[in-house]
Chain A
Amino acid sequence: MLAGEAGEPRRWAIAHQVTVGEFFDAADLVPVSQAHIMADTESLGEAGVEFLESLAAMPRAERQVRVPTLTDPRGLDFAVYKRLGQSDGMAALEARAIAALKAFGVLMTDTCINYQTILPPVRGEHLAMGDTGVVIYSNSVFGARSNFEGGPSALAAGLTGRTPRYGYHLDECRRATRRFRLDTAPRDLSEWGALGGIVGRATGSYWEVPLIEGLDAAPGSDALKHFGAALASYGSVALFDMPGITAADLVLADPHVATARIGRADIDAFLQSYAAPGDKVDVVVFAAPQLSLIEMAEVADALDGRQVHSQTTLLVATSPEIKHAADRMGLTARIEATGAIVAAGICFYQSYAGELAEANGWRRLVTNSAKLTNIIGGYGYRPSLLSLERCVEAAVAGRM
């Protein structure tokens, strides 16, 4: 393959994997059953799209992926991009990227909740997942095995059907190195995200694995989704263990490692650090990760009979599969009747967030996603983290 006898796409893929594998001292490559590509056009740029197109122009037998390969959210939703202030140029670049990805045989799932909606992993399954939230959920809750695979590496894994065996493919990395004990239970998704942020900041490295004890009851899938996404975002963490709840089922690398306690005051202080009472609210975002069907129903219930303030935009982002279900069940119509926008296949921060701020004059962003709160500051936003209900109150009042 490295000599090019299987074609240029696979030659490029294996050469990339050898470079990355040698950097991490990987002994060999491990077969994977799925790959998942983050390939939004804001990250790709013209150069990245041209790269995809150059490989997509190769003969079909040389460019087809060898394992099911999915996509992470895209840069825009063609149905709503004009309402959001995105440009025709962005849409044209997105269309080129989609055409190139389809030429590889990639399944355009456009989702960061594929573990809830497409094909949940199983324990021990080796994967090449391309979204930090997907990786940490797959590794921890299901006990699957994946590293963070950026877009080029996930595409390479799709083309070769394998990935370098390092990091969380190996038993020696799958041991808990940090220990936390909860003295309180998060009360909603924003607090689960806050807890992920607290543990993430304290852990602070891809190569550290937190073990979290003290939960009386199993959280739901959406709670662990927000917890894991924030933990991966704030700490670059790819694996955690909640004994008795998650399938990762890890041992402590050092049984005498100190236990850090997390209480109500810690969660309150985390939320308070983003508070801005009285501030005008420019945009309210429910996304990052995309909403499950249950979350869509909760947003619809909270909005029913109300109207989003004329100076505020409320954006809800979910996956194409969930959007179809929400359409069918009338949830989309209920949400959009309030003036809100429901988008499919995007996740806001991957959608030219800086250009959106400029085009719409947005600065104060309110969300129930701790992950989004962490990311969006670099794009010039001032984020606040509130519960779903308080986000809706802010959207209706136009103020915090």
Chain B
Amino acid sequence: MPTVLRCHPGIGPAVEGVALVAPDNFSARYDLDRKKGVFSRPGHALAGQSYNGRILVLNDAKGGVATAWMLHEMKSRGIVPLALVFNRVNPILAQGAAFGAVTMVDRFDGDVTRLIHTDDRLRIDPAAGKVEILERAAPAK
């Protein structure tokens, strides 16, 4: 039986994919090299890692309004996270997800950056307000 995490109903279509997790916050403008599809901000826990096609599991949104346009722009070029799973988002991330039709959920019962691990396989159902952990990542050796 997959582990089911309950959250607030979210935005966008149901998707299945692999998680990339960090306890850090997020802004497309502050943190990403959107041409290369990697986290570019020195000091971010995911610096240097590719976000393309991954389910980003992060803590909160940072300041800045650009992400509201940028998710749409990133999706148009096919270099975009598959989904965003956060403890709590600000209006900009929600507006960006709505405009870009990018799957997004937040407001879990616990700290989602600890409940989900990098490389876990997830199914996100925004309409139902749930995230299923279909397969746990192999423990690090």
Contact = CB atoms under 8 A, between A and B. Distances in A.
Interface of A: 16, 19-20, 22-24, 38-40, 43-48, 51, 72, 130-132, 147-153, 166-167, 200, 204-207, 232-237, 349-350, 354, 374-375, 377-380
B32 A378 contact: yes
16 contacts: A20-B95, A39-B69, A43-B70, A43-B73, A45-B69, A47-B72, A147-B91, A150-B96, A151-B65, A153-B95, A167-B91, A232-B63, A354-B33, A375-B29, A375-B30, A378-B40
Nearest to A40: B66
Interface of B: 8-11, 25, 29-33, 35, 40-43, 60-70, 72-73, 75-77, 88, 90-92, 94-96, 98-99
Contact of A22 (B9, B41, B90, B99): B9
Contacts of A130: 65
Nearest to A371: B63
The 10 closest A-B CB pairs, nearest first, are: A150-B68, A47-B76, A45-B73, A206-B90, A378-B41, A233-B63, A152-B99, A43-B69, A19-B98, A43-B66
A82 to B, nearest CB: 22
A234 B68 CA distance: 18
Contacts of B70: 43, 45
Contacts of A38: 65-66, 68-69
Nearest to B74: A45
B36 to A, nearest CB: 10
Contacts of A207: 88, 90
B95 A236 contact: no
B63 A236 contact: yes
Among B30, B31, B63, B72, the most chain A Cβ lie within 10 Å of the Cβ of B63
Given A45-B76, A150-B68, A378-B32, A235 B63 contact: yes
Contact of B69 (A19, A44, A166): A44
Contact of B98 (A20, A43, A349): A20
A204 B60 contact: yes
B61 A236 contact: yes
Contacts of B33: 354, 378
A51 to B, nearest CB: 7
Given A20-B91, A204-B25, A234-B63, 5 more contacts: A43-B73, A148-B65, A152-B98, A375-B64, A378-B30
A137 B41 CA distance: 27
Given A236-B61, A375-B64, A378-B31, A51 B72 contact: yes
